[in-house]
Structure 1
Amino acid sequence: MSDGKGPTAERIAASSSSWNGEPLPAYPAGRPLVSLLRILIPPHARLEEHFHPVVNAGVVLRGELTVVAGNGTERTFRPGEGIVEMVGTLHYGENRGDDEVELVMFYAGAEGVPLSVKSEP
């Protein structure tokens, strides 16, 4: 809580495992490449199924995002909640609501390594 006299910091998430309980992998070797993405997902939109080869985490700013793993396990994230994403596991995100989802995601990758990879059709 802020007393209005100075800056504050709040830890939103800290974990060595993703939201589904799987341990996060080691970082790739080489020089790190840090990326920050602001993502907007329209109402009732579903992202393509994909996986992340790098560790990533973020926070929902507006709306509700449901992330569904390939095995059907799902979790809904609401404004202010942190997401520690799955790495190497197929999944998709879905906005089931009537409002746009806005989130900021941080990726800890390496040069030449994509942030996400779409599943094969």
Structure 2
Amino acid sequence: MLKSVLLALMFVASSGNAATSKYLIKSTQSWNGNELPAYALAQPEVTIKEIIIAPGEKLPWHQHPVINAGILLSGELVVQTREGKKLHLKAGDTLIELVNTSHTGQNISNEPAKIVVFYLAEQGEKVTVLDHEHKE
């Protein structure tokens, strides 16, 4: 009898909510189709940033010297390269950002655009460089 009760309890416990997972994005390329660079890190450092862009705000031209990816939680963004290539993001969309390529972004919605970005860099390395700071 005790064994039956234990089995029944195990069944009930295992038939409840179970964790699930799904890929939001997985790629060897950034959003413009360029292959991500290979690099070795002596001391990897992961940075996670929440970036909030006001309605209508346009970010300055900048570059990322490191691989990074993000998910837009709210608002709408248009990301653009100097060559005119564009990516339109809506809440829930993911992206693998450009590496060492100038770009800007603008919130085209009436609400703050909130994006969470994950960076992988050498410890202490800048993850974003404004174009006027960039030395080629």
Deviation above 3 Å: which 4+ runs of structure 1?
Answer: none
CA RMSD of aligned residues (A): 1.6
Out of 63, 72, 75, the residue aligned to residue 63 of structure 1 is 75
Partner of 2:30: 18
Partner of 1:114: 126
Question: 1:113 and 1:64 mapped to 2: Cα distance?
Answer: 29
RCO comparison, higher one (Cα < 8 Å, 6+): 1
* 5+ residue gaps, structure 1: none
Identity of aligned residues (%): 35
Alignment of 1:82-101 (within 5 A): 82-101=94-113
Give yes or no for contact 2:41–2:121 (8 Å, CA) kept in 1.
Answer: no
Aligned length: 119
Partner of 1:9: 21
C-alpha distance after superposition, 1:58-82 (max 9, x if no partner): 1011111111011011011111111
Deviation at 1:4, TM superposition (A): 6.5
TM-score (norm 1): 0.92
TM-score (norm 2): 0.82
Partner of 2:56: 44
Partner of 2:4: none
Give yes or no for contact 1:12–1:80 (8 Å, CA) kept in 2.
Answer: no
* 5+ residue gaps, structure 2: 1-14
Question: 1:70 and 1:28 mapped to 2: Cα distance?
Answer: 28
Question: 2:69 and 2:119 mapped to 1: Cα distance?
Answer: 7
Question: 1:65 and 1:13 mapped to 2: Cα distance?
Answer: 18
Letter in 2 for 1:85: E
Task: Write 1 or 2 for the structure with the bigger share of helix.
Answer: 2
Question: 2:91 and 2:21 mapped to 1: Cα distance?
Answer: 17
